[in-house]
Amino acid sequence: MRRSHIAHKIGRLVGILVLVLFVIFPFIQMVSVSLKGPREQFLIPPTIVPKHPTLKNYVQAWQQPGFIRYFINSLGLTSGTMLFVTTISLFGAYAFTRLKFRVKSLMLTIILFSQMFCLGAIMVPIYKIFGNLGLIDTYAGLIIAYIGFYVPVAIWLLRSFILSIPNEIEEAAQVDGCTKVQAFFKVGLPLLRPGIGATAAYVFFVTWQEFLFALIFMSSANHRTLPIGILDFVGQYETNWGSLMAASVLISIPVFIMFIFIQKHFIAGLMKGAIKG
């Protein structure tokens, strides 16, 4: 019985290690190629650890015309989208959870079914509507499009967090003299920090790497985002793989920073909520 238990634990550990290697191997390969010179990139058999590591590819990627502008564009667009989507979703999720109105179930169902539409099927009418409104090739238009697609998911995500908070906590605050709005901001909102952090992280990740809308809606080079701008490293007859991989690593850095920040905030929020509970 004990041997069977040990074998099961070893098998599970091996399975986890294989899965982790499968997930992180593309990133390892990306970092490896970004540190190699042109000749070493095409060695057969390929090497994981560069024999002569160099940062030249990173310098070339950062000095690529327009790369810094693309970086700033993506950062501003992602931050704005994250702020608007998280705020709208927070109040929407609270309304669907705490307030009572007749069409609540119907509206929740409609929000859920709205995510079943294929993005490509509705791209043309959206583009036509935005074109008539003068929102093509504008950050406002792209943010509005992102809000329309990310808010439904964010509402369902935040709603699950709000449902986990007993309604009696806010009712007790109202008994002590708080209005419903004050009870939400003073009592409910601090307990929702983990949910807000998770939602903000979700919106940041999906917006930072979004490609299709940014490609179609942003026609001018000055308004491009990083997922579009990285195509500058791909030429018609050759591709600068070293600079392309270096640019990919640079693009990943804000995602890792955001993840580390949200992870700390998420754990702190959980601990604070547990102590208050």
pTM here is 0.80
Q: CB 276: neighbour CB atoms within 10 A? A: 10
pLDDT in tens, 243-256: 889 998 999 888 88
User: What is the domain extent for residue 17?
Assistant: 1-54
- Residues 62 and 191 reside in one and the same domain: yes
32 and 101 part of one domain = no
Find the range with the poorest average confidence among 44-53, 207-216, 241-250.
Answer: 44-53
Same-domain status, 162 and 266: yes
Residues 121-130: what's their mean pLDDT? Answer: 87
Same domain, 99 and 234: yes
Q: How far apart are the C-alpha atoms of 225 and 66, rounded to whole Å?
A: 10
Write out the two tokens for 55. Answer: 């940062």
11 and 127 inside one domain: no
Q: Which two tokens stand for residue 192?
A: 């929702």
Q: Above 90 in pLDDT, residue 78?
A: yes
Q: Which residue is listed with tokens 């940062």?
A: 55
Predicted confidence (pLDDT) per residue in 182-204, tens digit = 888 888 888 888 888 888 888 99
In one-letter notation, the amino acid at residue 181 is V
What is the predicted pLDDT for the residue at 272? 44
**Boundary of a domain, candidates 37, 54, 71:** 54
The whole-number pLDDT of residue 1 equals: 54
What tens digit of pLDDT does each residue of 162-187 get? Answer: 888 888 887 888 887 887 778 888 88
Tell me if residue 151 falls in helix, strand or coil. Answer: helix
- Mean pLDDT, residues 94-121 taken together: 79
